[in-house]
Amino acid sequence: MADIERPLSPHLQIYKPQVTSIMSILQRLSGVALFFGLLVLSWGIYAIAQQESERFFAFASSLIGQVFFFGIAWAFIYHLMNGFRYLVWSTGICIRMVSVKASGMVLFPMSLIVTALLWFY
């Protein structure tokens, strides 16, 4: 058999990014971000319980900490909103490709707006 120098299965170099694939990847990445956010929040709760919370609050009040916690808040809101989207799909509603793409295009900016409203309001 001849050695063929091509991919054996489709992958990211072949397909253009689509709304559905990007939303799926973001759902998984937001879940991973929530895991790491939970670790940091656990550190904070432990530090408060041990009455050694100076380092945690120094981190939380720094620019890096603020960006981190805003990102975790966005990951939570995005993951929650997209989870509701999947729940609606489970009922058989809005599963046509047009509505899937439309809800994906609305979900990302809405998650940023809701996060910003919760963060700054």
| pLDDT for the residue 80 | 96
Q: Does the structural domain 19-120 have CATH classification 1.20.1300.10?
A: yes
Better-scored residue on pLDDT, 9 or 23: 23
| pLDDT for the residue 116 | 96
Q: What percent of the chain has pLDDT over 70?
A: 91
| pLDDT for the residue 7 | 61
Q: How many residues does the chain have?
A: 121
- pLDDT, one tens digit per residue, over 28-80 is 999 999 999 999 999 999 999 999 899 999 999 999 999 999 999 999 999 99
Mean pLDDT of the chain: 90
Domain ranges of the chain: 19-120
Ramachandran assignment for 51, one of left (phi > 0), alpha (psi -120 to 50 degrees), beta (any other): left
Angle at 31 between CA 50 and CA 117, to 5 degrees: 80
Cα-to-chain-centroid distance, residue 86? 14
**Confidence at 14, pLDDT banded by 50, 70, 90:** confident
